[in-house]
Structure formats: C-alpha cells, structure tokens
Amino acid sequence: MTEIYDFAIIGTGSVGSAAGYYASQKGLKVLELDVAVPPHTQGSHHGQTRLIRHAYGEGGKYLPMLLRAQKLWDELQQKTHRDIFHQISLLNVGRQGTDFIENVERSAQRYQLPYEKLTGEEISQRWRNFSFSNDYVGVLEEKAGYLNSEIAIQAYLDLAKEIGVEQKFDSAVQSIDFQDDIVVIRTAQQVYQVKNVLVSAGTWVKELLPTVPVQPIRKVFAWFDVADKRLNEDEGFPAFAIEIDDKQTYYGFPGKDDTIKIGQHTGGQPINQRSQGTPYGDYSSDKEEVLPLLQRYLKGVGPLNHGASCTYDQSPDGDFIIDQLPNQPNVQIVTGLSGHGFKFVSALGELAAQKANQEEITTDLSAFKLNRFE
Ligand SMILES: Cc1cc2nc3c(=O)[nH]c(=O)nc-3n(C[C@H](O)[C@H](O)[C@H](O)COP(=O)(O)OP(=O)(O)OC[C@H]3O[C@@H](n4cnc5c(N)ncnc54)[C@H](O)[C@@H]3O)c2cc1C
C-alpha cells in the first residue's frame, strides 16, 4: 500500500528546513523535497549572513513573530552548539522624520525593546568610520545582530534527519494535485501522497502556483577588503541598516576575515526565469550599487574582494504572504518574504508545523493573507 505522509514540504531552504524540524518534533511523518541540496546558492539564503533587527521599520505587525523567532534561534544555537546568532548590536540609521526610522523607534517603544537613540554626530563620534550629520538619526539595538543563514539551515536539516524525516533532495516538484483530502505531489522520480503540504519554494513559487503574486528580483551583494580594522566585528563595529536621502536602503555586517559584506536592499532587476539570475558583475550597476553609501557615509572600506547574486521573492507590497491555498486548507504557502524574511524563518517554520499538526494558531497573521491583493 502507498505510504501517506502527514506533512510534505516543497522547498527545504530557509522556511522549509525549519518547518521540517518543528513538524518532526511533533511526531508527524514528514517528507522534505527540494530541487537542489540545501543550503545552496540557487535560492535566497546564501552569502553566509542575514541581519536580525528587532525594532522593525516594516511595521508592528511583524513584532510578535520576530520576538518568537529570536527565542527559537537562541534555542537552536543552545541545542546544536553551532555558530548561528551573533548578538553584536545593530544600528538603524535614517533621515530625521522619515517613515523607516520613525517605525523603528515606534516598534522599539511599543514592545519595550532596549534601544539607544543617537544623533548623526553621535554616531560619527562613536564609530569614526561613519559620517552622518545631525539630519540623520540612529536607533542602536544592542540585542540584535546577525544570523549565519547557511549554518542555521544545515542545523535544521541535520536535526530533522536525526529524528527520521525523509529527505529527498535533487527532486524538483513538478505538480501538486488533489484527490479528496489527499494531496498528490509529483517529482521527476516519484509520486507522493500527503495529508498536508507547505509550499516554501521561495523565489520560484509561481512555477508551481502561477497565481501567487510574487515577482523574482535579482539582487547582488559584495565583500570588500577591510582597509581600516575598526570596521571589524572584534573591534565592536555594528551590523547596520541605513536609509539615505533618496530612500535607498543599504545593509552591512561588521568586517570578518579581512572582508566586510555590504549590499543594497532597494533596487535589483525583476526577472522571470532562473537563467536570468546571472552572477555578480553581469550588470554594470552591480559594482556601483553601494557607492553612494561608501562615498559619503561609510569610510575605511577597501577595494571589492568578490560579489554574489541572489534573488528576492518580492510581493506587491513587500509584506509576507502566509496563508493557505483558496479552498485547499491542507496546502499552506509561505512566500513573498521580499528580501527581509530570514530572521523570521524559525518562527515561520514553527507556525507551519503547528498548522500541519492541526493546532490553534494564536499569532495574528491577518495582515499576511493572499486576499489583500484582490
Ligand atoms: C541578498 C539577500 C540579502 C538578504 N538579507 C536579509 C537580511 O539581512 N535579513 C533577513 O531577515 N532576510 C534577508 N534576506 C531574505 C531572506 O534570505 C529570504 O527571505 C529567505 O531566505 C527566503 O527563504 P525561503 O525559504 O522562502 O527561500 P529559500 O531559502 O530560497 O528556499 C526555497 C527552496 O525551495 C526550493 N525549490 C524551489 N522550487 C522548487 C521545486 N519546484 N521543487 C522543490 N524545491 C524547490 C529551492 O531549491 C530552495 O531550496 C536576504 C535575501 C537576499 C537574497
């Protein structure tokens, strides 16, 4: 007789790897499917690191999930003793009175997060490599920092495997069909029957679910030589998210191993096929993107060392899509993470596992429903 899984995960990169672990912990019979072998460089999670900000400029609706995510990251680190979270301080900077920085401060106040407000000149005095006038303001979060994304995914996959999750990698899912209450998943190699499904296929979710409004965006980021050692993590340089005059947002990590990683959150190239996600340097703009930051606001960064390209799964409003398929309550989707999802991955995985286990979801997810685009 054909085996019927309790829960299949289509795409076990960031969200999927976490969901697989939390579901297996609950005793569900879990199947993990991925077109590649995660962690890998063909999705949205490579390049070693991701910022975790707590005071969230994107709005208070994210905060309950974010605080839960931090707790789960801490637990994962304690359990595995792997190098997952670096609590090194994170500096948010924006022009006085702009939405980004006001939302950051508002969410810090509302959720009583510890933070320090700094004038532009105070920022420049504390870290001599920054150069901000008092038109700018900073919100420094000492409890925030960054996550080692690839290490975290590997940790979830290893834990799941230990519990006995079936992992089928190099297995591209080609179709999802329905037979009464059972979902039928086809890969090139096999057909699976499952009771509940999570589609966490990231940027290319539309190949499986064409009506989900997600636009793939090609994004680049780069490592530069550290020309001034004060930029290094062990010298106390913070991670940062900076919105400058023209609403362009940049992010970066303190220097490590003589390089510093910097990228632009805004911008990028909308693409429609995987082959268009070409390597760093393919567009002349790739090497110019972060120059506005380096020329005016951040000193001591040396020549380009190397770069990489990645993709965002951009939703129309930049907010996540966390829902189920219309009329198919046993198919969950988590997508549209729009370039800011990694920090939430632990909590998103836990929520998906709870739903697959028919538990009541107490987190308010009403802002993330698909029908907001109708
Ligand atoms: C350059 C860059 C910088 C970022 N910086 C930050 C940051 O600082 N902080 C932050 O919080 N977030 C950040 N993000 C966003 C974050 O990394 C993503 O939101 C997150 O990794 C997305 O997770 P995911 O599970 O949706 O996608 P992925 O991790 O890409 O996983 C999707 C998986 O689905 C698989 N898949 C696709 N199609 C199929 C199929 N048909 N069959 C089987 N498997 C399939 C893929 O192989 C992949 O493994 C950044 C993203 C990028 C690209």
pLDDT tens for each residue of the chain, 374 residues long: 579 999 999 999 999 999 999 999 999 999 999 999 999 999 999 999 999 999 988 878 999 999 999 999 999 999 999 999 999 999 999 999 998 899 999 999 999 999 999 999 999 999 999 999 999 999 999 999 999 999 999 999 999 999 999 999 999 999 999 998 999 999 999 999 999 999 999 999 999 999 999 999 999 999 999 999 999 999 999 999 999 987 899 999 999 999 999 999 999 999 999 999 999 999 999 999 999 999 999 999 999 999 999 999 999 999 999 999 998 999 999 999 999 999 999 999 999 999 999 999 999 999 999 999 99
User: Does the C-beta of 38 come closer than 6 Å to ligand 1?
Assistant: yes
- Residue 230 is among the residues annotated as catalytic for this protein: no
User: Does the C-beta of 268 come closer than 6 Å to ligand 1?
Assistant: no
Catalytic residue among 265, 311, 335, 355: 265
User: Does the C-beta of 209 come closer than 6 Å to ligand 1?
Assistant: no
User: Does the C-beta of 14 come closer than 6 Å to ligand 1?
Assistant: yes
The model carries a pTM of: 0.97
- pLDDT number for residue 359: 98
Report the sign of the C-alpha dihedral through residues 362, 368, 370, 372, in that order. Answer: positive
- Residue 310 is among the residues annotated as catalytic for this protein: yes
Residue pair 369/211 in contact (Cβ under 8 Å)? The answer is: no
d(CA 252, CA 351): 29
- Domains in the chain with CATH codes: 4-45+150-213+317-373 (3.50.50.60), 90-143+215-310 (3.30.9.10)
- pLDDT number for residue 372: 97
- pLDDT number for residue 216: 98
Catalytic residue among 49, 203, 249, 335: 49
- Residue 343 is among the residues annotated as catalytic for this protein: yes
- pLDDT number for residue 2: 77
- For ligand 1, the distance from its centroid to the CA atom of residue 218, given in whole angstroms, is 12
- pLDDT number for residue 1: 53
- Residue 54 is among the residues annotated as catalytic for this protein: no
